[in-house]
Structure 1
Amino acid sequence: MSTSAERSNLHLLSDVNLYIIFGITLTAVMGVSSIAPAFPSIADAMDVSAQQIGLLITFFTLPGIFITPILGLLADRFGRKIVLVPSLFLFGIAGTACAFATSFEQMLFFRALQGMGSASLGALNLTLIGDLYSGNKRATAMGYNGSVLSIGTAFYPAVGGALAVIGWHYPFFLSLLAIPVGLFVLTKLEKTGSNGGLNMSEIFSNVASSLVSKKVIPLFVGIFLTFIMLYGGYITFFTILLDEKFGQNSFWIGIILSGSSFMTAYASSQLGKLTTRFSEVGLIRTAAILYLSIFLMLPLVENIWWFIIPVIIFGAAQGINIPSILNLLTGYADKEYRAAFLSVNWVVMRTGQALGPYLLGLVYAGFSLDATFYAAAFAAGLFVISSVFFMKEEWYITADASMLEDM
């Protein structure tokens, strides 16, 4: 690394805006990963089935499917803070309220409110990086943010699992951390994104025309199928497998999920080096094949120690797949409607996140636990087909943030 690059990175790490973005990122991934290890305990406490417990993810993600594009339009028109501050406060208050729920129906209501608070966070954290940084600084900031995200998803299951050992409701108190993040956004974050030059209809028209690009659609398909597998096959029914077949408690389930996330963090940190040797499309294809092998493998494991292999492979696949897709999408997001464009991607992710537990829950109810992993493998197979036949490497070589056009 050159001396100038080192100075640039040191300057970046002294920027308070970057740490606020980290706080938003950590909040965005908290809503599911911190409570997933407690699913078996919550199911017992609320007297609901393993099939029903996945609704805690579905109700959390559904609001984002409908309101995230609206919030993205508002953030482009009036600025990021107008959307972020209320969102973070709602996330913290509603998430904490789940700890005091006296019925499963009441908990689902609070989860839906928390999901409304979460709806804009995952899109606006990336949007802020695009707003505040350019060139190498932007790439460096994206890398730092990806590492923070992976570390968060590594620690949250372990912390949530440990808290769930004390009581099922304790993991929900982690949501309170969103309140100070919201205060920092309000008082310290640089104001960005207010675009008085375009009205809402113009922003909507620009985003709509961008979404029909044949370069973008395969990336959306990839991220959708990834989240079907992640939240259906892995976070929901892999935890059920560890509980039902291997008798693991919430703490050890959290530790196992954390191991996968640490591998994701390492793989993400190596993405810069990998992309000097391999194309991002090639990395996405590799990840799709890894997903397929993992979900075909899970039903065959009889000794819990053998889970080390699929957990490591899954973490590596996540580390090269999701950042690659997000980087390609961000490269095509015009700054004038960046929040709205990335909000659509967040809707696609949320749709996969919501449908994964529900669809695989139907498979679980109608067939067996093993069948859920074969269904996830089917989704992985579709991802392989999409990445091989509908993603062309040459489309993404000259991606530029100022344009999105079909070839």
Structure 2
Amino acid sequence: MQRKNLTVIFLSTLIAVMGVASITPAFPSIIKHFGITPMQVTLLITVFTFPGIFLAPVIGVLADNFGRKTILIPSLFLFGLAGLACFFTKNWHILLVLRFFQGIGAASLGMLNVTLIGDLFSGPKRGEIMGYNASVLSIGTATYPAVGGALAMAGWQFPFLLALLGVPTAFMVIFWLKNPEPDKKQNLADYLKRTWKNVNQKTVWGLFILNVLLFVILYGAYLSYFPQLMTERMNSSSLQIGLFMSGFSVVTAITSSQLKRINKILKPKVQLQIGFTLYLVSMLLLSFADEWWKLLFPIVTFGMAHGMIIPGVQTLLVGFAPITERAGFMSINSMVLRLGQTTGPIIIGFFYALGGTGTAFIGGAIVAVVMLIISFTMLKL
């Protein structure tokens, strides 16, 4: 049973990261096809992540009261079918609308997969499975840019077809997932009071802020402007961009898979601080990189950082709430995560407007410094 449960969880994780990682290598082709600017193309990320800011808390309440599967199944169907519709559109504004609806489908996926791990596992095993889940996530983010880049060689719209994988995954949730569900509906006022008590802690707020900034770096600097860097400075193709972007995810997957060993050596707070320092190094090096070999070290450092930070933050957060409020609690994390994804391209876009691609990565380095400061001042672990 646990094998099937993990298969469903890991597939949901793969779907959750597909919506952005698979299409960013096609950004240069999309820019050319629609005659838009590099800043405008990042709207494909912003409108996709925007619904999660407002829907996540609602989804969390519903999942705690009506069950995880009740939310997960229609979300996967909507994600897949909206992605298919993106493939067929020829209008830029309609594409943005369809991405918004696809984002509605995606809003619950990254939150519910982590919630399910918290429901099904506890203690050291939970941290171990979080590490494996982060490895699966990284395999997805490693594979999708390469696959998306290859598909984009046939046409800018072809990477959107990958979203159809959400449909068979939804059927697997129906027939395979056997998870504990809340046994009864809860009084809403009492439920919200307990959830707020779980949230309103200095360390929790610190972790939430770090999650916002983490995705400002990932979505704002790396996913939005790394393709632009390779296009401007190295005249790279979509396939080449995808392969390089896959490199960081391979490193992330390897690092996350070793989380069990890392946890034995490093305390959680030290782990995170090392990760933030590696982010800083990566962003600074990328701001100056003008040849492909100069990308190798910052890609490795970025991947190592991501491999420690993502599962580390998730494991810490999921332990702050019991099963009866866990989805609601994690939905707030999903909301702040989406806030980072949505505002990241805008925040880093400000730095891009000031001085181009190199300055965009300087902006990412500044965010990494802020993350270090927060880790020292707010985390009591």
Same-fold status (TM-score > 0.5): yes
| Mean CA deviation greater in 173-182 or 188-197 | 188-197
Residue 99, structure 1, aligned to residue 79, structure 2 = no
Give the match for residue 158 of structure 2.
170
Q: Could you say what secondary structure the match of 2:203 adopts?
A: coil
Give, in angstroms, the shift of residue 389 of structure 1: 2.4
Give, in angstroms, the shift of residue 99 of structure 1: 1.1
Give the match for residue 236 of structure 2.
248
Give the match for residue 336 of structure 2.
348
Q: For 2:163 and 2:19, how far apart are their aligned partners in 1?
A: 8
Q: For 1:313 and 1:31, how far apart are their aligned partners in 2?
A: 24
Residue 132, structure 1, aligned to residue 120, structure 2 = yes
Aligned partner letter, 2:319: G
| Mean CA deviation greater in 172-181 or 187-196 | 187-196
Aligned partner letter, 1:370: G
Select 1:86's aligned residue among 58, 74, 93: 74
Question: Is the Cα–Cα contact under 8 Å of residues 126 and 315 in structure 2 kept in the other structure?
Answer: no
1:264-321 deviation digits (Å, cap 9, x = unpaired):
0011111111111110110100111111122122122232211001001100010011
Give, in angstroms, the shift of residue 24 of structure 1: 0.7
Q: For 1:96 and 1:31, how far apart are their aligned partners in 2?
A: 12
Residue 238, structure 1, aligned to residue 226, structure 2 = yes
Write the mapping of 1:211-226 to structure 2, written as runs, cut at 5 A.
211-226=199-214
> How many corresponding residue pairs?
381
Residue 327, structure 1, aligned to residue 315, structure 2 = yes
Residue 39, structure 1, aligned to residue 27, structure 2 = yes
Give, in angstroms, the shift of residue 197 of structure 1: 5.0
TM-score if structure 2 supplies the norm length? 0.97
Question: Is the Cα–Cα contact under 8 Å of residues 51 and 362 in structure 1 kept in the other structure?
Answer: no
Q: Could you say what secondary structure the match of 1:248 adopts?
A: coil
| Mean CA deviation greater in 228-237 or 147-156 | 147-156
Residue 274, structure 1, aligned to residue 274, structure 2 = no
Give, in angstroms, the shift of residue 333 of structure 1: 2.1
Q: Could you say what secondary structure the match of 1:302 adopts?
A: coil
Write the mapping of 1:254-269 to structure 2, written as runs, cut at 5 A.
254-269=242-257
1:140-174 deviation digits (Å, cap 9, x = unpaired):
43233222111111111111111011111110000
Give the match for residue 303 of structure 2.
315
Change (3 A) 1:316 1:192: same
Question: Is the Cα–Cα contact under 8 Å of residues 159 and 254 in structure 1 kept in the other structure?
Answer: yes
Question: Is the Cα–Cα contact under 8 Å of residues 268 and 320 in structure 1 kept in the other structure?
Answer: yes
Give, in angstroms, the shift of residue 137 of structure 1: 4.3
Write the mapping of 1:110-189 to structure 2, written as runs, cut at 5 A.
110-189=98-177
Give, in angstroms, the shift of residue 130 of structure 1: 1.9
| Mean CA deviation greater in 128-137 or 158-167 | 128-137
Give the match for residue 326 of structure 2.
338
Q: For 1:63 and 1:247, how far apart are their aligned partners in 2?
A: 34
Q: For 2:124 and 2:369, how far apart are their aligned partners in 1?
A: 35
Select 1:57's aligned residue among 35, 45, 61: 45
Contiguous gaps of at least 5 residues in structure 2: none
Q: For 1:31 and 1:25, how far apart are their aligned partners in 2?
A: 11
Change (3 A) 1:375 1:135: closer
1:94-123 deviation digits (Å, cap 9, x = unpaired):
111111121111111000000000000111
Residue 192, structure 1, aligned to residue 207, structure 2 = no
Q: For 1:363 and 1:139, how far apart are their aligned partners in 2?
A: 36
Q: For 1:299 and 1:132, how far apart are their aligned partners in 2?
A: 42
Give the match for residue 402 of structure 1.
none
Residue 369, structure 1, aligned to residue 357, structure 2 = yes
Give, in angstroms, the shift of residue 136 of structure 1: 4.9
1:27-58 deviation digits (Å, cap 9, x = unpaired):
10100001111111111111110010111000
TM-score if structure 1 supplies the norm length? 0.91
RMSD: 1.4
Aligned partner letter, 1:212: N
Question: Is the Cα–Cα contact under 8 Å of residues 77 and 200 in structure 1 kept in the other structure?
Answer: no
Aligned partner letter, 2:115: T
Question: Is the Cα–Cα contact under 8 Å of residues 67 and 119 in structure 1 kept in the other structure?
Answer: yes
Give, in angstroms, the shift of residue 202 of structure 1: 2.3
Give the match for residue 7 of structure 1.
none
Question: Is the Cα–Cα contact under 8 Å of residues 153 and 258 in structure 1 kept in the other structure?
Answer: yes
Q: For 2:304 and 2:176, how far apart are their aligned partners in 1?
A: 35
Q: For 2:362 and 2:281, how far apart are their aligned partners in 1?
A: 10
| Mean CA deviation greater in 96-105 or 172-181 | 96-105
Q: Could you say what secondary structure the match of 2:80 adopts?
A: helix
Residue 17, structure 1, aligned to residue 2, structure 2 = no
Change (3 A) 1:274 1:77: same
Give, in angstroms, the shift of residue 341 of structure 1: 0.5
Q: Could you say what secondary structure the match of 2:234 adopts?
A: coil
